Structure 1
Amino acid sequence: MNRTAFAALLLAMTSGTAIAKLSPAEADKLKKELTPIGAERAGNKDGSIPAWEGGLTKPPACFKGAGAWYCDPFPEDKPKFTITKANVDQYKAQLTDGQKALFAKFGDSYKMNVYPTRRTAAFPDFVYEATYKNALNAELANGGESLNGAVMGIPFPIPKSGNEPIWNHKLRYRGAGVDRWNIQAAVTTTGAFNLVKIREQVKFLYGTKGLSPEQLNNVGIYFMQTVTAPPRLAGTITLVHETLDQVKEPRRAWQYNPGQRRLRRAPNVGYDNPGTGSDGLRTNDQTDTFNGATDRYTWKLLGKKEMLVPYSSYALHSNKLKYADILKKTHINQDLPRYELHRVWVVEANVKPNTTHIYKKRFFYVDEDSWQIVAVDNYDARNTLWRVQETHSVMAYDKPFLNPVLESVYDLQSGRYLAQAMNNEENENGEQDYDVGFFDPSNVSKQASK
């Protein structure tokens, strides 16, 4: 290698720039053998994973229209088989270590009903068009903490490094914004629980149709969370402006304490600080399965695997269910979730030297069709598997985009678990296009003091 080439390589290494832009020839795969967001169009060899044919974009006859509950478009589907403690070894190659650990710990009651695979994931055409442009222009700098040249679509549809699928998850399309209920329950070893009711209002600025990267002003998501119950937490507000270049400007966060009646900057809203109302069973960065900065970890892309993961979870999301029907002793009611065989990207994250996180190692399983993280295995400082996450979603077929409906965090050491992102007894999530000014700290202070 000559001196000029070596100097260029050294500069790229020291600046932390990930070479992510694709050539036109490689980006053109998104129009041929890959789906518009980077999944394999073809099915697998034995047909247990079918080909992608555009996803589920036509509402079924049971759907009552905009704002109505998402009914099950596959009511006739029956389980192909059920995994139990007795036969789990037959399927271990397609299970995460976390899933295998749940069978080992709760096998007398734990099971997985496996259904035919439905490749329902789909997005609007403008997201597909933006994804193609991102493939040619998007790049990460500053150790993966600065996203440049991307907007609206998936930033890295053909990932080359470990933190690219994580960025894809964080910025996957979920509409212009949402007004939703996030009902959360920390379940004890006896099966007892109290509900925490949280209203979340979100503007997905990054996904706004027609914006350029420059118009984002370094913010991808505006997020406000208001606790309405129980009384001891009611009135607590968390406000977050999630930045795209976290070296230029870290996440902006504020919290309103109703006792003090003041909105204060809250730099502790992030990383491994305890999540609101979680009874210590999740960290801040486990909201939405994973969110926030990636700078405390090194990220390694391990490749793609066929795995049994939560999918098409309409039965679990039913508004005919009470929370007590879902929340059972040691785990959620496993008669309700639907599991399917899908290809997922596997990403390993290890805590960097000279920094800290309560999870020393994490394995993320990212659905190729949607870039939703569907499962996570979290290890403690002794490299012992500690907490296991699963995310159950439904396809919002009238939008279209994928919509998480229950996120679980199982603590293998305490035997307790957390369920969050439920809304079975509330209104259905509603798409809402907020003005950016709604998330200005001064406006939040006014609203909170009323």
Structure 2
Amino acid sequence: MSRYASLITLLIMALTPLSTYAKVSAEEAARLGKDLTPLGGTRAANADGSIPEWTGGYVMARAPAPDAQRLPRTFSDITTDRPLFVITRDNLDEYRDMLSQGHLRLFEMYGDTYKMPVYPTRRTGAAPEYIYEGTRQNALKAEMTNFGESIENGAIGVPFPIPSHPQEIMWNHKTRFRGASLKRYNAQIVVQTNGDFIAHRLREDVRFSWSMPNAKPEDLNGVMAYFLQLTMAPPRSAGQVLLVHETLDQQENVRRAWLYNPGQRRTRRAPNVAYDNPGSGSDGLRTNDQLDVFNGATDRYNWKLVGKREIIAPYNGYKLIDNRLDYDDIIRADHPDQDLMRYEKIRVWVVESDIRRGTSHLYKQRRFYVDEDTWTIVMVDIYDARDDLWRFQEYHQVLLPWTQSVGPAGHMIYDFNSRRYLAMEMMNEEPLFEFVTIGEEHFRPANVRSVATRR
């Protein structure tokens, strides 16, 4: 019977377009900016007030002086907060129901040193008005097709602010507002069991075409983002360039990627920059689809929308992003210095993925926790083929109040088998990011070699 049931399910999927999960009615869309935030989160406080009402997010009229943009004193109304409480191994049972499986495993393995300082919840999420307006239009027009692998009739803002399908939530994460065009510098740090580490320093040029002011679906040429990554250090990897054109159709117009190898002085197509192929400079601690927590196609999994949950998660990591800290001040054996971390009680969408029969991936199952205010995936529990918890991702986001865009303060991937971890998107010792206009021509494959040689 199970075989026949599976065949019937596949037939229904083949005959039912996923666009039926997308557009909402005008009455539903009218909730945006009223009982829902302009991006689709629940505006009201929770029952006991521990999660407050959203009142517009954290907005600053203009950027502070360049030297102050990553210093906590710039955000004094947040960073002067004191922890409400600190979760330790001794009081863990009081908070167990509000923690991810990954955090519970960290306490199990490293409870002598691991702790979670929990602060008042600050609903800082915000975006520019044109992103809000684009989101309102998307709610009425955007469609998800090709079994969740494509977006049509959408641009600017969140495509599915009132989601009814798990892959819509994944698209919301992939298209969330992170600025329109920028140049940023960051480090990917492989941490060994004794605390020794090597930092891979990167420069990344990004054009989020989807988020450009006045972007229109017909003008995107099927590409939502352009990404160029130049490795600056260590010396053995310096000069390597990865170029990616991230498409809006992950099935028929798949991701286009190229790699430039400075030793060979050649640019080659790189079809393996996807799925569970190992990410560069990670010493095998992450897969390609774990960059930015999750990216790329979703077609190797069956997806399930579990629903909303109140949970304690990394949030508002302004202390962690402080550029007065060196990496030596942050990195420790087993886990970073937890005194620099900030956790808050927030509402998240919970989405689960299980490997689809006939496909393959290193990760059999993943559970994603997605912030309702920014659509950022803040945590992921990752299971292996034996259904054992293998890895855990923890994304510490910040909102840059003068741009109203979200970005990373740090992204940790813990490997429970090897007892090592990867600290990604760290910027403390790196040059300050720049919001600059970068044209599409910069991301042509023919331009890759000149980028590498100009570094």
TM-score w.r.t. the length of structure 1 is 0.95
What SS class does the counterpart of residue 151 from structure 1 fall into?
A: coil
Q: Give the equivalent residue in structure 2 for 1:304.
A: 308
What SS class does the counterpart of residue 132 from structure 1 fall into?
A: helix
Q: Which stretches in structure 2 are left out of the alignment for 5+ residues? A: 1-10
TM-score w.r.t. the length of structure 2 is 0.94
What SS class does the counterpart of residue 348 from structure 1 fall into?
A: strand
Residue 88 of structure 1, aligned match among 92, 102, 106: 92
**Alpha-carbon contact 1:171-1:206 (below 8 Å) kept:** yes
Q: Which amino acid aligns with 2:65?
A: K
Paired with 1:175 and 1:194, the residues of 2 have a C-alpha distance of 29
**Alpha-carbon contact 2:251-2:297 (below 8 Å) kept:** no
Q: Give the equivalent residue in structure 1 for 2:8.
A: none
Q: CA deviation at 1:75?
A: 3.0
Q: Give the equivalent residue in structure 2 for 1:200.
A: 204
**Alpha-carbon contact 1:387-1:410 (below 8 Å) kept:** yes
Paired with 2:25 and 2:277, the residues of 1 have a C-alpha distance of 40
Q: CA deviation at 1:72?
A: 2.9
**Matched ranges for 1:130-145 at <5 A:** 130-145=134-149
Q: Which amino acid aligns with 1:72?
A: F
**Alpha-carbon contact 2:239-2:453 (below 8 Å) kept:** no
Q: Does 1:409 align with 2:413?
A: yes
Q: CA deviation at 1:12?
A: 7.1
Q: Does 1:77 align with 2:78?
A: no
Q: Give the equivalent residue in structure 1 for 2:343.
A: 339
Residue 38 of structure 1, aligned match among 21, 37, 40: 40
Per-residue deviation, residues 242-279 of structure 1 (Å, max 9, x unmatched): 00012221000000011110000000001111111000
Q: Does 1:17 align with 2:18?
A: yes
**Alpha-carbon contact 2:230-2:452 (below 8 Å) kept:** no
Q: Which amino acid aligns with 1:300?
A: K
Q: CA deviation at 1:227?
A: 0.5
Q: CA deviation at 1:149?
A: 1.1
Paired with 2:412 and 2:374, the residues of 1 have a C-alpha distance of 19
Q: Which amino acid aligns with 2:408?
A: P
Paired with 1:420 and 1:11, the residues of 2 have a C-alpha distance of 41
The count of residues paired between Structure 1 and Structure 2 equals 441
Q: CA deviation at 1:184?
A: 1.0
**Matched ranges for 1:92-103 at <5 A:** 92-103=96-107
Paired with 1:104 and 1:398, the residues of 2 have a C-alpha distance of 40
Paired with 1:58 and 1:414, the residues of 2 have a C-alpha distance of 43
Q: CA deviation at 1:66?
A: 9.4
The verdict on how the C-alpha distance between 1:127 and 1:112 changes in structure 2, with shifts beyond 3 A counting, is same
Residue 319 of structure 2, aligned match among 311, 315, 319: 315
Q: Which stretches in structure 1 are left out of the alignment for 5+ residues? A: 1-9
Paired with 1:214 and 1:248, the residues of 2 have a C-alpha distance of 17
Determine what percentage of the aligned residue pairs are the same residue: 50
**Matched ranges for 1:273-284 at <5 A:** 273-284=277-288
**Alpha-carbon contact 1:67-1:430 (below 8 Å) kept:** no
Paired with 1:301 and 1:318, the residues of 2 have a C-alpha distance of 36
Q: Which amino acid aligns with 1:182?
A: N
Q: CA deviation at 1:31?
A: 2.9
Residue 268 of structure 1, aligned match among 249, 263, 272: 272
Q: Does 1:367 align with 2:351?
A: no
Per-residue deviation, residues 389-411 of structure 1 (Å, max 9, x unmatched): 00001110000111112000000
Q: Give the equivalent residue in structure 1 for 2:132.
A: 128
Paired with 1:50 and 1:257, the residues of 2 have a C-alpha distance of 50
Paired with 1:145 and 1:310, the residues of 2 have a C-alpha distance of 29
Paired with 1:407 and 1:146, the residues of 2 have a C-alpha distance of 27
Paired with 1:284 and 1:272, the residues of 2 have a C-alpha distance of 6
Paired with 1:16 and 1:283, the residues of 2 have a C-alpha distance of 30
**Matched ranges for 1:415-434 at <5 A:** 415-434=419-438
Deviating runs (4+, > 4 A) in structure 1? 10-13
Q: CA deviation at 1:352?
A: 0.6
The verdict on how the C-alpha distance between 1:294 and 1:80 changes in structure 2, with shifts beyond 3 A counting, is same
**Matched ranges for 1:124-273 at <5 A:** 124-273=128-277
Per-residue deviation, residues 142-176 of structure 1 (Å, max 9, x unmatched): 11001111101100101101111110000001111
Q: Which amino acid aligns with 2:366?
A: R
Paired with 2:262 and 2:233, the residues of 1 have a C-alpha distance of 13
Q: Which amino acid aligns with 1:34?
A: L
